[in-house]
């Protein structure tokens, strides 16, 4: 399983050759990976490798600061916007603190945006540190690039599902919920078993390794590939495709003896979107008993914003009153 995580060249999709044979081939490769593994590595994405190198360097500079300096942008300062820094052990997975610290970012919104004025959860301006000042431009540039890649991957899925390349953009991700994280795992750091909430996750990771995926015969490693982005599908894509695509449980175990940095980017449905199952042939929905959390993604009701807010209440209860 570890060696079988496929590598998909999404260059034809990023380049916009929607009607080309190459784009169709990329879409079919994505479809096969989503059906068989739930994880794949994206290459040909066109992102500037220098940008990720700068992001990594400046993130390490931030995490090396004294805690008092990092606390200047602590998450409680952003309230329900869910932005800023949290300390080691500050995030929960299934009620258990993870051994990692992190920075949370989202779409950069001005204070007078109607959603911010209304106090909509997970909407607001980001909290950026004074040092290193360059981290702000790194983050915003990286998020913009990752959004383009994510939309291209979803376009490939749309082609493979017979919906057309524009289907996701027209129905779910025209104004997506965009979330970006930078995590530092110290030696021995970890995050517990989980699946992701939304549609699509694109992950850049350093060369330390530690990402593991649950396979039928146990946990297997997803090794870093230079220049590659690990892509996995979330619970809402499993729901949308009626089980054709399965969100795969994963975790992190940093056994490298050094700090590990990872950069997960989440491209999810619009806040007010309702994710309904598609009229496509798929595998029968997985029984809740088969999932790591014994919950069914097919029982979700309401908007994606309602769903995500409930999830956040369990991860950071102090920020939501949950």
Per-residue pLDDT at 322: 39
Per-residue pLDDT at 299: 85
149, 228 Cβ separation under 8 angstroms: no
Per-residue pLDDT at 321: 47
Counts for the chain of helices (H) and strands (E), in that order: 10, 14
Tens of pLDDT, residue by residue over 197-222, are 999 999 999 999 999 999 888 898 99
Compare 202 and 38 and report the one with higher pLDDT: 202
Task: Please report the sign of the dihedral spanned by the C-alpha atoms of residue 60, residue 190, residue 80, residue 301.
Answer: positive
- Report the share of the chain in percent with pLDDT over 90: 77
Mean pLDDT score across all residues of the chain: 91
Per-residue pLDDT at 296: 85
Per-residue pLDDT at 1: 39
Compare 317 and 18 and report the one with higher pLDDT: 317
Compare 130 and 18 and report the one with higher pLDDT: 130
Compare 82 and 260 and report the one with higher pLDDT: 260
Per-residue pLDDT at 184: 98
* Residue 247 per-residue DSSP state: P
Lowest average pLDDT, out of 71-85, 109-123, 131-145, 273-287, goes to 273-287
3-state secondary structure labels for all residues of 157-214 = HHHHCCCCCCHHHHHCCCCCEEEEEEEEECCCCEEEEECCCCCEEEEEECCCCCEEEE
Q: What is the CATH number of the domain that holds 246?
A: 2.60.120.330
Q: Where are the alpha helices (DSSP H) in the chain?
A: 11-14, 21-36, 49-63, 67-70, 114-117, 135-160, 167-171, 235-240, 304-315, 317-320
With vertex at residue 138, the alpha carbon angle to CA 132 and CA 140, rounded to the nearest 5 degrees, is 120
Per-residue pLDDT at 17: 65
Compare 50 and 3 and report the one with higher pLDDT: 50
Per-residue pLDDT at 56: 98
Across the strands, what pairs with 264?
A: 203
Lowest average pLDDT, out of 64-73, 93-102, 286-295, goes to 286-295
Tens of pLDDT, residue by residue over 219-248, are 989 989 999 999 999 999 999 998 899 899
Note down the domain range covering 182.
2-320
Is residue 89 pLDDT above 80, yes or no? yes
Per-residue pLDDT at 138: 98
- Structurally, the chain folds into a number of domains equal to 1
Burial (CB count within 10 angstroms: exposed 0-12, middle 13-18, buried 19+), residue 95: exposed
Is residue 2 pLDDT above 70, yes or no? no
Per-residue pLDDT at 205: 95
């Amino acid at each position: 399983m570890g060696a079988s995580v496929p590598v998909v060249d999404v260059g034809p999709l990023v380049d916009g050759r929607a009607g080309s044979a190459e784009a169709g081939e990329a879409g079919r490769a994505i479809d096969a990976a989503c059906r068989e593994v739930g994880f794949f590595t994206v290459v040909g994405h066109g992102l500037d490798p220098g940008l990720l190198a700068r992001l990594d360097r400046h993130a390490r500079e931030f995490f090396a600061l004294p805690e008092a300096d990092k606390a200047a942008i602590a998450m409680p300062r952003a309230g329900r916007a869910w932005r800023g820094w949290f300390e080691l052990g500050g995030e929960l997975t299934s009620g258990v603190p993870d051994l990692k610290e992190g920075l949370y970012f989202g779409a950069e919104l001005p204070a007078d945006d109607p959603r911010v004025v209304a106090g909509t959860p997970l909407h607001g301006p980001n909290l950026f540190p004074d040092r290193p000042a360059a981290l702000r431009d790194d983050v915003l540039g990286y998020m913009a690039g990752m959004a383009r890649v994510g939309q291209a991957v979803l376009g490939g899925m749309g082609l493979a599902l017979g919906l057309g390349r524009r289907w996701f953009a027209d129905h779910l991700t025209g104004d997506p919920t965009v979330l970006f994280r930078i995590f530092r795992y110290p030696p021995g750091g970890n995050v517990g078993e989980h699946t992701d909430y939304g549609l699509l996750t694109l992950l850049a990771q350093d060369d330390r390794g530690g990402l593991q995926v649950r396979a039928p015969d146990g946990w297997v490693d997803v090794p870093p590939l230079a220049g590659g982005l690990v892509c996995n599908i979330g619970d809402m894509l499993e729901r949308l495709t009626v089980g054709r695509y399965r969100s795969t449980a994963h975790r992190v175990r940093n056994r490298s003896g050094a700090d590990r940095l990872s950069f997960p980017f989440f491209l999810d449905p619009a806040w007010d979107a309702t994710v309904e199952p598609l009229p496509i042939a798929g595998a029968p929905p997985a029984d809740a008993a088969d999932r790591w959390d014994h919950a069914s993604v097919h029982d979700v009701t309401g908007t994606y914003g309602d769903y995500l807010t409930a999830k956040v209440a369990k991860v950071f209860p102090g920020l939501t009153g949950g």
